Amino acid sequence: MCGLLLGGESHIAQVVPSRNVASDTRRRFEIDPLTLLAAHRAARTGATPVIGHYHSHPAGIARPSPRDAEDAAPDGSIWLIVAGMEVTAWRAVEAGTVEGRFTPLSLHVVD
Ligand SMILES: [Zn+2]
């Protein structure tokens, strides 16, 4: 499971599910480029911007994996990771405290 997060500086307003187009979907995720392109295109014409993405760790923990760190650009985007009933949020940065690439974010659900 994976998809895009749309929102503002520090809030997620909407999620957009995507196909996982990675060659091995059990070990990696890759957002469908068409989904990504459509979201960026929509944002240019006033829709809510893309601020990050989410994916699940079906057999792992809700924490960035070394593979996630390899794949993450230090672009300040938000990574939401789902494992079982747990959801955690991270920001991809140049020198993170987790796997060298992520800083933890606190997650608050608001109505
Ligand atoms: Zn992951």
Give the domains, in start order, of the chain with CATH numbers: 2-105 (3.40.140.10)
pLDDT attached to residue 40: 96
Per-residue pLDDT of the chain in tens (111 residues, 90 and over written 9): 999 999 998 899 999 999 999 999 888 899 999 999 999 999 999 999 999 999 999 889 999 999 999 999 999 999 999 999 999 999 999 999 999 999 999 999 887
pLDDT attached to residue 111: 79
Residues 6+ apart with CB under 8 A from 38: none
Beta strands per DSSP E along the chain: 2-8, 11-18, 50-56, 78-83, 86-92, 102-105
- Rounded distance from Cα 49 to ligand 1 centre (Å): 22
- Rounded distance from Cα 2 to ligand 1 centre (Å): 10
Q: Which of 82, 16, 88, 2 is nearest to 50 (CA)?
A: 16
- Rounded distance from Cα 86 to ligand 1 centre (Å): 13
Residues 6+ apart with CB under 8 A from 76: 91, 92, 93
